[in-house]
Amino acid sequence: MAYFDAASAAPLHPVARQALAASLDEGWADPARLYREGRKARMLLDAARDAAAEAVGCRPDELVFTSSGTRAVHAGVSGVLAGRRRVGRHLIVSAVEHSSVLHSAESHEADGGTVTRVAVDRTGAVSPAAYAGALRADTALACLQSANHEVGTVQPVAEVAEICRAAGVPLLVDAAQSLAWGPVAGDWSVLTASAHKWGGPSGVGLLVVRKGVRFAPQGPADERESGRAPGFENIPAIVAAAASLRAVRAEADAEAVRLRELTHRIRARVPELVPDVEVVGDPERRLPGIVTFSCLYVDGEALLHELDREGFSVSSGSSCTSSTLTPSHVLKAMGVLSEGNVRVSLPFGAVSEDVDGFLEVLPRAVAGVREKLGAPVAETAVRDDVLVVDSLGKRCPIPVIELAKVIGEVPVGGLVRVLSDDEAARLDIPAWCEMRGQEYVGEEPAERGAAYLVRRSG
């Protein structure tokens, strides 16, 4: 079985396993106590903090350990917003942030604050100029991920940090995906990360708040971790997290070269092996181990099941997954196909043979899913010189499949009107037009669902 979903959770690093086992006997006591066992626990905690701070590039007293990366984000966002409430209640985020950031933004709005969501281009990158344009006199905080978790695109953090610093606005960086590869560049103010992304144990997050940033921890007061992360520290897990971060950093330069070659192979070969595929994300400014592509006429969840049966664990940003039943907000913001989306994220140590095996299996898996989904026959009719495709009650990608079947029946310049009540069609039909060189005219209200107009260009 080949595990290709390291962007969700990396396998436990051998160093983390060793450090976890070794510290179980020494790190169980209360590090706030002055007796021998407490002093041993405190020494382990302090050493872990020093190691993590060195990897991040901050002072040890600026870094606290939280119970998860999500908790670090929530605490970081709420703490800065509360600390700078006199400045204002305006928050800036990108449209492709991790859900933990977006949920914090939604909570802020529900509490009466305002949020600006900065758009991205088709590669998933923000423009520094867009952040500059979003800044206001009442902006309390801006947030920007260091790299995108779904498509691997690296964001211009240093440029955005410089813009925010000049405006006197702190920038919070979610570095969960990139911290294993090196420190985050730029003059950022707050940083968060999660240990299970780099091969540490789950249940450990990092929250770094630079000196001078106004910060007011929210919730009941607690003396642990400078009052910013309540609860008894899980010292063995923290020690393992810091040890594994140091270990992966020592391997990062060489491993980055190796994984970039493997992901480049996937990016180049997939469009050659599978018809009607779009590789998404920035082709150059990207993390070493992530490659994402979208397959037309394929249900992403069905494709993942097929690949799992063939021995490959991958993930998808596809819409209509069993957990959410909604399109990926990242793919939606990028304007790319949400159906048939596959994210391959290679762990440290991934081997060339497994990548070759994946490339051998993928065409067969895609063809099998397409064959199963190709059975429905489009119900079409010509109304006022417009070919109408009735896909009501059919889940994506069926509306796109039916559109593809009939587009050749209209003359160049003719219109096809696709009726669909699946929310994913709002994203997938324009994305299909972009991929196939057809003109997307727009959306119209319909008696049920919506009508999507497509003009045949060739």
Active-site residue list: 320
127, with CB counted inside 10 A (0-12, 13-18, 19+), is middle
- According to DSSP, the residues that pair with 2 across neighbouring strands are 312
- According to DSSP, the residues that pair with 200 across neighbouring strands are none
Helix (H, G, I), strand (E, B) or coil at 223: coil
CB 201 within 8 A of CB 12: yes
Considering only CA atoms, which of 259, 196, 281 is closest in space to residue 8? 196
Helix (H, G, I), strand (E, B) or coil at 80: helix
Considering only CA atoms, which of 300, 294, 263, 232 is closest in space to residue 435? 294
- Looking at 196-349, list the stretches that DSSP marks H as alpha helix, in order from N- to C-terminal side: 235-273, 300-309, 329-334
Q: What's the 3-state SS for 308-351?
A: HHCCEECECCCCCCCCCCCCCHHHHHHCCCCCCEEEEECCCCCC
Sign of CA dihedral 221, 225, 230, 231: negative
Residue 140 has a CB neighbour count (10 Å cut-off) of: 25
CB 199 within 8 A of CB 10: yes
CB 192 within 8 A of CB 174: yes
Q: How far apart are CA 396 and CA 424, in angstroms?
A: 6
Q: How far apart are CA 457 and CA 87, in angstroms?
A: 52
Tokens of 214: 């106004």
Tokens of 62: 């600026």
Provide DSSP, 168-184: T--EEEE-TTTGGG-PP
